[in-house]
Amino acid sequence: MSTRNARLESHSLILHGHRVGLRLAGEGPVLVLVHGMTSSSATWARTGALLARRFTIVAPDLLGHGETVTTAGDYSLGAQATLLRDVIVALGYDRATLVGHSFGGGVAMQFAYQYPERCERLVLVGSGGLGLEVNLLLRLLTVAGAEFVLPIFCRRELADAANACARWARAVGLRPTAAAEEIWRGYSSLADARTRAAFFRTLRAVIGFDGQRVSAADRLALAANVPTLIAWGTRDGIIPVEHAHRAHAAIPGSRLELFEHAGHFPHCEAPERFAQTITDFIDSTEPACVTAHLLRAQGLGKTRV
């Protein structure tokens, strides 16, 4: 990879009358980096800067996250995938490689399903939508009434006090792990009432008390049309690494990259290795060219008589 410095710059678009925040950098083949729930495009700052040495990086804030407007609208996977399509079109790009983390992995898969002609490759990072199991806390937050309890623990005063403690810790040389910083950033965002409301709508669209509600299991065979990389931390405490192995077995031709000492945020915990893994994957694969005709030929949309 080039040693040329790159940095993701904050921008915004107005789509359908609403503001969408995003970060952009680099030149070359287009990579769309899709963050997870309670996160934002900021999660890609380090990895995105490394990848921008070789690629055009587009990292949008999903609906209800970051600098993208929070509304009372639709926060489903389909709506988020449509947002990605609109961002790509607005920026003047035709196709891209989708890199999705956690909830963003589910969005990336939905994008590949809704807009196959626009998806060149698929990278799933600790992705949702690949199995039932998910962290107990997320399941508990789907219970009726959780939206009235969570504000007690997400008050702005608590977040400000904790941020002050974190600044003091850094001043004396104590630095939290990359994973801890990401978790804290997500927690802090929930101090805002509108963001918190969007979080619950997003969460309940994909997770219930019994686990993940949305599964791509019946569509994974279609991913054989698209070069697919599955990246996972072996110490993931949010979505178990077993999901990576299952998806790898279910997607013909897919690649599996395990990050042995990482948890749910391998792109933050091992950014150099993560960026190199993505680069190698892109360099060694040809972009997909999936058409509606091809999908029909494989049985999509056939009727039973």
Phi, psi at residue 168, to the nearest 5°? -65, -40
> The domain spanning residue 116 has which CATH number?
3.40.50.1820
Task: Count how many domains the chain has.
Answer: 1
Burial environment of residue 266 by CB neighbours within 10 A (0 to 12, 13 to 18, 19 or more): buried
**What amino acid positions are annotated as catalytic residues?**
102, 236, 264
* ∠ Cα 217 51 118 (to 5°): 45
Least confident interval from 36-40, 234-238, 288-292: 288-292
Residue 202 lies in a domain: no
Least confident interval from 168-177, 188-197, 265-274: 168-177
Predicted confidence at residue 165, as pLDDT, reads 61
Predicted confidence at residue 294, as pLDDT, reads 64
pTM for this entry:
0.90
Residue 229 lies in a domain: yes
In the predicted model, what is the mean pLDDT of residues 203-223?
89
| Rounded Cα gap, residues 294 and 301, in angstroms | 11
175 Cβ contact list (under 8 Å, min separation 6): 169
Residue 233 lies in a domain: yes
Residue 305 lies in a domain: no
Question: For a pLDDT cut of 70, what percent of the chain falls above it?
Answer: 87
pLDDT in tens, 228-251: 999 999 999 999 999 999 999 999
pLDDT in tens, 109-126: 999 999 999 999 999 999
Please say if the pLDDT value at position 276 is more than 90.
yes
Please say if the pLDDT value at position 291 is more than 70.
no
Predicted confidence at residue 2, as pLDDT, reads 46
Residue 164 lies in a domain: no
Tell me the residue range of the domain where 61 lies.
9-134+214-297
Please say if the pLDDT value at position 302 is more than 70.
no
Question: For a pLDDT cut of 90, what percent of the chain falls above it?
Answer: 70
Residue 242 lies in a domain: yes
pLDDT in tens, 254-268: 999 999 999 999 999
Residue 139 lies in a domain: no
Predicted confidence at residue 168, as pLDDT, reads 57
Predicted confidence at residue 280, as pLDDT, reads 98
62 Cβ contact list (under 8 Å, min separation 6): 34, 35, 68, 80, 83, 104, 107
Residue 44 lies in a domain: yes
